[in-house]
Structure 1
Amino acid sequence: MDNQQIKILQNMLNLYDTIIIHRHVRPDPDALGSQLGLKTALHKMWPRKKVLAVGDMPDSLQFFGGMDQVTPEDYEEALVIVLDTGNAPRIDGEHYQAGKYLIKIDHHPPVDQYGELNIVDTKSSSTSEMIYEILLLCGYGEDYITQEVAKYLYLGIVGDTGRFLFNNTTPRTMEITSKLLKYNINHTTLLNQMGERPLKSIHFQGYVLQHFSYEDHVGFIFITQDVLEQFDITASDAALFVNSMSDVAGIEAWVFAVDEGDQIRARIRSKRAVINELAARYNGGGHPLASGATVYSREAFEQLVRELKETVK
């Protein structure tokens, strides 16, 4: 991360009495971990500042804690920080541009630099890892990383590294994680909470395992709205099972698509082949081996699968 950018960030944090923190829609553990970790640390530093976390909370991640109610008036003299969001259309919250100053902090490839200050580090495993680094680089030190902050950042790192199985896990990732564990965060309990699913979700996972297709080293499944209704599961909760087919011997990449009514969200994963350029051609983007795309018909999804097969080849 650039030292000049960190200095600007530090000045902005000092300057504003209201700080509103956004992240992307359909949040994952990293989005929530970085958001709530930063909020909690800022509250520790400046108890009199108004620090608010914005966005919808999926049922499956309620154990993270709640979001704040924010009014349009809150933005009038506010610093707005958007975390873990590569492009502006994915920001959760309609008023993020209404603040006095906008900062983006993210680890995705920089496609859309929507902030007045854009702090992007694609070498970080997660935005939660970045928040830990930023707290140290700003000179606040580990005194402001409380047990609660450590819990949030740990969950974010674990989520985006696939429990340290993904290739974005670096020696620095493990070093930071080891320091977070020193705060006695009871990581076993946290991991159990993050892995728990309602019985209906487990039944849905069984459906996925029985119905996905596998051709040319590529796995794929299209979840219709009828299936969501059958298992009484939301599109966001269904997407948690994106990696259900990842253990198939010989699989190189897979697509998990869910019909959300007005659009079809396709999560694309790969073990080796770079797939974010493919995702970008389908209204999406992301990391080289983990991306998302949006299509609007079954035919477009099938074309996406064909192009993924070619990419793998």
Structure 2
Amino acid sequence: MKRTIIDTIKEFETIIIHRHVRPDPDAYGSAFGLKEILQASYPEKQVVVTGEHDDGLSFLAHPDIVEDELYEDALIIVTDTANTARIDDQRYRKGKKLVKIDHHPNDDNYGDIVWVDTNASSTSEMIYQLAEEGKKDANWSFTDNAAKLLFAGIIGDTGRFMFQSTTKQTFEAAGNLIEYGFDRSQLFNEMYEVDVKLLHLQGYIYQNFKMNNDGIGYIKLTVDTLKSFDVSSTETSLLVGSLGAVKNMKAWVMFIEERDQIRVRLRSKGLIINEIAKKYNGGGHPLASGASVYTWDEADHVIRDLEEAAKRH
């Protein structure tokens, strides 16, 4: 499949890369890392990344401004996005051919060429593998910035190598990437340093979360609560792992109220949670998923589903 993707890339003069809405480091790392590699390898091609920018990821990259006309006869590559509803910039349909590269379960089998590897820690790890194949088969180039971007994506999706998705291949990829010229210490600071206001909100979470006897925890962050801490709903993504430090916590959910929905962030230390996420307009990995509900009653249903799953576990 990697060779098929490489051969397909060779055929197109214009390549437009998409990733998922509400991006995380792996979304940016895989999309912009691929762009960096392709630009270095094919300077005659036009390679761009589209999508709404997240200011919290400015230290990695900024999306390009992509005009509608560019989609004509373009190759579209979508990275790190399990289903079409979550593709940022729905103009992906306007391209000539579509390639999907992802490590989430392939519930939505979209695309003309589909490479899905659920054993990969991250899509950034897959892009690294693609680049290694490209070096052998097509004399691809690799840059220091590409290494930084892919390393950030791997670090982000493995929780600094703490998640079960981390494999021997993950460490090998990361080990090879750190041989390139980028400042790891600075990158870690940019990824994990947080504003004081977020630390205050984290304190609120620790003081107000609930956990039952089966190890299921939850916290509800209302619009008013976020406003009182001057924290946006997007910024709360940096705190979703906080409850993982609680002893005897098996799985937890963070509810973040927004103007038109309640965002649901699910995490687990072993309990399979992505099937629950699918019930509520979401999905993801077995131990890390997201969803959306529209009332606090629905949020309580999510909690009950988690509690029932824990009793069966």
Q: TM-score, normalised by structure 1?
A: 0.95
State the shift of 1:240 in Å.
2.0
Structure 1 position 301 matched with structure 2 position 295 = no
Q: Distance in 2 between matches of 1:240 and 1:125?
A: 19
> 1:125 — aligned with what?
121
Would the aligned equivalents of 2:131 and 2:140 in 1 still touch at CA under 8 Å? no
State the shift of 1:236 in Å.
1.1
Structure 1 position 264 matched with structure 2 position 262 = yes
Give the alignment of 1:125-204 within 5 angstroms.
Answer: 125-138=121-134, 139=136, 144-204=141-201
Q: What letter is aligned with 1:245?
A: L
State the shift of 1:13 in Å.
0.5
Q: Distance in 2 between matches of 1:175 and 1:142?
A: 21
**Aligned partner of residue 27 in structure 2, secondary structure:** helix
Q: TM-score, normalised by structure 2?
A: 0.95
State the shift of 1:142 in Å.
8.4
Would the aligned equivalents of 1:254 and 1:268 in 2 still touch at CA under 8 Å? yes
Q: What letter is aligned with 2:181?
A: N
Q: Distance in 1 between matches of 2:192 and 2:305?
A: 32
> 1:51 — aligned with what?
47
**Aligned partner of residue 63 in structure 1, secondary structure:** coil
- For structure 2, list consecutive stretches of 5 or more residues without a partner in the other structure: none
State the shift of 1:215 in Å.
1.4
State the shift of 1:59 in Å.
2.2
State the shift of 1:208 in Å.
1.7
> 1:236 — aligned with what?
234
Flag the 1:123–1:53 CA change in 2: closer, same or farther, 3 A: same
Q: Distance in 2 between matches of 1:58 and 1:207?
A: 25
Q: What letter is aligned with 1:179?
A: N
Structure 1 position 212 matched with structure 2 position 213 = no
Q: Identify the match of residue 100 of structure 1 among 72, 86, 96.
A: 96
> 1:73 — aligned with what?
69
Q: Identify the match of residue 88 of structure 1 among 84, 92, 97.
A: 84
Would the aligned equivalents of 2:28 and 2:61 in 1 still touch at CA under 8 Å? no
Q: Distance in 2 between matches of 1:72 and 1:135?
A: 28
State the shift of 1:185 in Å.
2.1
Would the aligned equivalents of 1:257 and 1:264 in 2 still touch at CA under 8 Å? yes
**Aligned partner of residue 259 in structure 2, secondary structure:** coil
Q: What letter is aligned with 1:181?
A: I
Would the aligned equivalents of 1:270 and 1:290 in 2 still touch at CA under 8 Å? yes
**Aligned partner of residue 38 in structure 2, secondary structure:** helix
State the shift of 1:143 in Å.
5.9
Q: What letter is aligned with 1:49?
A: K
Q: What letter is aligned with 2:116?
A: V
Q: What letter is aligned with 2:26?
A: D
Count matched residues.
309
Between the aligned residues of both structures, percent identity stands at 46
Flag the 1:223–1:145 CA change in 2: closer, same or farther, 3 A: same
Flag the 1:142–1:16 CA change in 2: closer, same or farther, 3 A: closer
> 1:9 — aligned with what?
5
Q: Distance in 1 between matches of 2:140 and 2:11?
A: 21
